[in-house]
Structure 1
Amino acid sequence: MDYSANSNRTPSGPANDTGASEAKAQHDAAASARSQIRAQARAPKHRINRKALGRSMQAIDIFAGALLAVVGAIAISGGQPGAVPAGELFPIAGFAALLPLMLSALGLYRIEPRHAIIWRVTRAVIATASLGATMLIAGFGTAPESVGILAVYCVVAVSAMTLVHLVYAGFIGHWAKAGRLARNIILVGATPNARKLILANQGSGTVNVVGYFDDRKSRAPTQLAGTPYLGTTDDLFNWSVLPDVDRVVLTVTPKAEERVKHLLEKLRALPQPVILLLDINGFNPETTSLDDIVGVHTARMSGHEENLGRQFVKRLQDVVFGSLLTLVTLPVMAIIALLVKLDSRGPALFVQKREGFNGRPIKVYKFRTMRHDPNAESKKLRQVELNDPRVTRIGGVLRKTSLDELPQLFNVLAGSMSLVGPRPHAYGMRTGGTETANLVAEYAHRHRVKPGITGWAQVNGSRGPLHTPEAARDRIKWDVEYISRAGFFFDLWIMLKTVPALLGDKLNVR
């Protein structure tokens, strides 16, 4: 009998079937374990912005210094601050004016969770005492007859400011222990130094390494120094916890040039800053803080440092202009709500979950323009088309004039939206059968700012649903350009162009 035809076949006996079943069971168990670990990965919320906290402390110190100056002037003048001689007023005013500068020079407005309370208090004492001594010495020259009362003032002022910074230190220590000052970080790539960095920074209260991603599944351990493996970079983009992450750290070796280029191109689309951490000679991870991650061994590859001044102006702009517009349009909104209710059954307002700042979900308000469907949330998202039968009579008018967007002024006042910014897209929005987010590499960039009622894309003709990949790319191009140019006067220009652009638009389906 000729066995040559079967000589290369794998036996199919019971032993082989058992081995295949065991291998499949092990594979399924490993996949299940990883899925469970990924589901359990959490990024702490309700955290405190360190920069904002530092600026708040500085503002309180400025107010406290001014208050001390007023109290000192009243004490010296016997209740008539206007009668204080210039020679006596100079040391008091000088202390108030130079106090925040001195404290800032010693780094007391830079929030470092790993610093002990005694560190902050000691620096506060050094800053305030040296400034008080300097002002007292100045008093010998400007008001020698009042040196005694100036000395009392300096002691009181130094003690008061030291007490204030003791309170600061207590709160900072409490928040650091609770993890509210920690930055949420994820790693991409598992190098030996990345593992050492995680171990060296555990329990520091400065960073929380939520997990790590690696495209090399076969080489990725389930955990890296206790940090869970969460999947590939494709999984990263669809990860539900991503909006709560502050920074993405790409850990690689310098030799892997092609892999670095590929990963950087892919990760640039993330709304978070991407930091490149190189394993190079002389780099000791055990003495390096992940909190100071932008240092000699790291490079920021994408993203921007938050500009608190710009954020404050933007928020003030939204509150002031948003309040005025809300007051002016309230009667109009009341009439529209009545017409919507009379035109068809259902609520006057339509609420939809959309993508907000950093990709976080927000509830966006609009006047209902379609026939009410109680099960709309559970159905597949379908964009509006020309002569769409779902649109009501009054809804068609509202959509053409964009008056259906007026309730989003309440989103602006609540802080989930801005007057100007990329329009908020619905989750899973599709363009030509493909998710819009998958059509444009820079799509996630639009999440770096709050979404807006109007934007640079809208005044340049990109309004309404996106039905082609080209239309999606054009809109993202305008959105990314807006983010790079955003500023008060640019926002004002867009707001002024919005109404003429809307009224002159006869082409877009809205």
Structure 2
Amino acid sequence: MSSRTGRYSGYIRPFSYGIDLLIINFLSYYFLPEPLNIFSYHLFISIAWILIAWNVAFYEVFRFTTEFQILGKIVKQYVLFLIFNFAYLGYFYKFSEPSQMIKFISLSLVLVTVEKFSVYYFLRRFRVTFGGNFRRVIIVGNGKQVDQLIHFFNDNPDYGYKLIHVFDTKELKKNNFKSCFEYVTENKIDEIYCSLNSLTNNELNRFVNFTDNNLKKLKLLPDSKNVLSRNLILDYYGYIPIVSLRNIPLDKRTSQIIKRTFDIVFSLFVIIGVLSWLTPVLAIWIKLESKGPVFFKQKRNGLNYEEFYCYKFRSMRLNPIADLEQVQKNDPRITRIGAFMRKTSIDELPQFFNVLLGDMSVVGPRPHMVSHTEMYAKRVDKFMVRHFIKPGITGLAQTNGYRGEVENEKDIINRVKYDIFYLENWSILLDIKIIIMTIANAVRGEEKAY
């Protein structure tokens, strides 16, 4: 995953997981008696630690998370980890000295607490001293809550928010917010904070549409927790309530780790189990039928709109418009082996190398050619929302009949709707379901597979 201004390093949470697991395993080896110093127990406490941490969101610590909230997570982790360990001992052993177990777990949590707060305070100091790990923000609106948020950003640089500008809505309404949107684009603003007291529903919708189409985050200053009816995320910056309009499960680091682990395991399985022997066979066939390379690479837009090379088995004869025109039914550019590969989706298999490299995921919105992405971004509302997550080899839209050629406006609009539903409702079970449906469709054959 590419790093972005305002985001934590992708190594911080894996580092914390690794350090914490080392601590609990080392201390269990040092404090607990010989019968427990076996591989099965160390495996148990490692898995138990991870499952509990996932359940209590132990590693979900954000820049606006308070020290008190972190302590609450630590207490939950301690109590549940203690229960899990005594349950294990009660089932497998007659353990007559519970004080040793309590001492081991208590010391473990003390050291984990020191490590957790050390990272937390280091990041806050890092933002102040070096100006790194920050987000560029603007505020739109007037009123008491806006003034409080201005003071919060200015008085708390360690949270990592850099307030660039405050817009008066009375001035913005004169040009229908055009100057604000131009300012956001020109100054590379990451997040927009709007006061709901200062905007009508139609004006709020303009901000929603702009942020969705330009990969910006929109957050709101509400009157109360119930100011809007839709399912929203409520956070607190100090005592100031902040509402986020779009809930993306893959913004959570735990979800990213689960999805990335699944991607690596699944892609390695395909690369070793299928591509290792299939590639030489197809290479000979492709070369015999037409001149050119075995693989075809094409620039496409991925996470955060960044470009990457997407790999496929070459299914067409060499032609100058391969990067400009989509393949159509009975396209004369397609070779005989190419037609077979496209019909069975075998031509897509090299994209598992893209998955292994981290440019793509097994499941996600299908990436488009750069020229088509630019065209659809201008024509289709919320098209850019798809780029909040990694593109995929297959996706929810493809399993519901919207794969291949975009024949009309309805095709791309429905594809975007499915993609947005996927990114707002992601789960690993949904990924598995989509993969199964994709394999079933490939075996059964699809009308638009050409």
Question: What TM-score, normalized by structure 2, do the two folds share?
Answer: 0.68
What is the CA deviation profile of residues 308-330 of structure 1, one whole-angstrom value per residue up to 9, with x for unaligned ones? 33322222221222211111222
What is the CA deviation profile of residues 20-50 of structure 1, one whole-angstrom value per residue up to 9, with x for unaligned ones? xxxxxxxxxxxxxxxxxxxxxxx7378425x
Equivalent residues in 2 for 1:47-446, closer than 5 Å: 47-48=8-9, 53=12, 56-57=15-16, 60-73=19-32, 81-82=34-35, 110=61, 112=63, 164=115, 168=119, 171-172=122-123, 175-176=126-127, 177-182=129-134, 184-187=135-138, 189=140, 191=142, 197=149, 201-202=153-154, 204-209=157-162, 232-233=180-181, 245=190, 247-251=191-195, 253-254=197-198, 256=200, 258-268=202-212, 273-277=217-221, 292-293=236-237, 296-304=240-248, 306-330=251-275, 331-373=277-319, 381-429=324-372, 435-446=375-386
The SS at the match of 2:288 is helix
Contact 2:213–2:384 (CA<8 Å) still a contact in 1?
yes
The SS at the match of 1:326 is helix
The SS at the match of 1:366 is strand
The SS at the match of 1:390 is coil
Measure, in 2, the Cα distance between the counterparts of 1:453 and 1:478.
Answer: 15
What is the CA deviation profile of residues 27-75 of structure 1, one whole-angstrom value per residue up to 9, with x for unaligned ones? xxxxxxxxxxxxxxxx7378425xx73674365234313312321346x
Which structure exhibits the higher relative contact order, with contacts defined as CA atoms closer than 8 Å and separated by 6 or more residues? 2
Measure, in 1, the Cα distance between the counterparts of 2:382 and 2:113.
Answer: 49
Structure 1 residue 422: Cα displacement = 1.5
Measure, in 1, the Cα distance between the counterparts of 2:23 and 2:120.
Answer: 17
Measure, in 2, the Cα distance between the counterparts of 1:170 and 1:71.
Answer: 29
What amino acid is aligned across from residue 459 of structure 1 in structure 2?
T
Equivalent residues in 2 for 1:22-37, closer than 5 Å: none
Distance 1:350 1:187, change over 3 A: farther
What is the CA deviation profile of residues 345-397 of structure 1, one whole-angstrom value per residue up to 9, with x for unaligned ones? 332222222221233323211122233357966xxx22222333333343333
Distance 1:241 1:467, change over 3 A: farther
Distance 1:218 1:374, change over 3 A: farther
Deviates more, 1:362-371 or 1:205-214: 205-214
The SS at the match of 2:370 is coil
Distance 1:164 1:350, change over 3 A: same
1:478 has 2:422 as partner: no
Contact 2:317–2:334 (CA<8 Å) still a contact in 1?
yes
* Residue equivalent to 2:84: none
Q: Alignment identity in percent?
A: 25
Distance 1:198 1:362, change over 3 A: farther
Matched length: 401
Structure 1 residue 441: Cα displacement = 2.2
Distance 1:195 1:314, change over 3 A: same
Structure 1 residue 404: Cα displacement = 1.3
1:496 has 2:448 as partner: no
Measure, in 2, the Cα distance between the counterparts of 1:297 and 1:494.
Answer: 37
Distance 1:311 1:168, change over 3 A: closer
Contact 2:377–2:383 (CA<8 Å) still a contact in 1?
yes
The SS at the match of 2:367 is coil
Measure, in 1, the Cα distance between the counterparts of 2:367 and 2:406.
Answer: 13
The SS at the match of 1:486 is coil
Distance 1:302 1:503, change over 3 A: same
RMSD, aligned α-carbons: 5.1
The SS at the match of 2:407 is coil
Structure 1 residue 500: Cα displacement = 2.9
Distance 1:422 1:62, change over 3 A: same
Structure 1 residue 398: Cα displacement = 2.2
Distance 1:509 1:72, change over 3 A: closer
* Residue equivalent to 1:139: none
Q: Tell which structure's C-alpha radius of gyration is larger.
A: 1
Structure 1 residue 257: Cα displacement = 5.1
What amino acid is aligned across from residue 298 of structure 2 in structure 1?
Q
Structure 1 residue 509: Cα displacement = 5.8
Structure 1 residue 344: Cα displacement = 2.7
Distance 1:405 1:276, change over 3 A: same
What amino acid is aligned across from residue 350 of structure 1 in structure 2?
F
Contact 1:365–1:411 (CA<8 Å) still a contact in 2?
yes
Measure, in 1, the Cα distance between the counterparts of 2:105 and 2:265.
Answer: 41
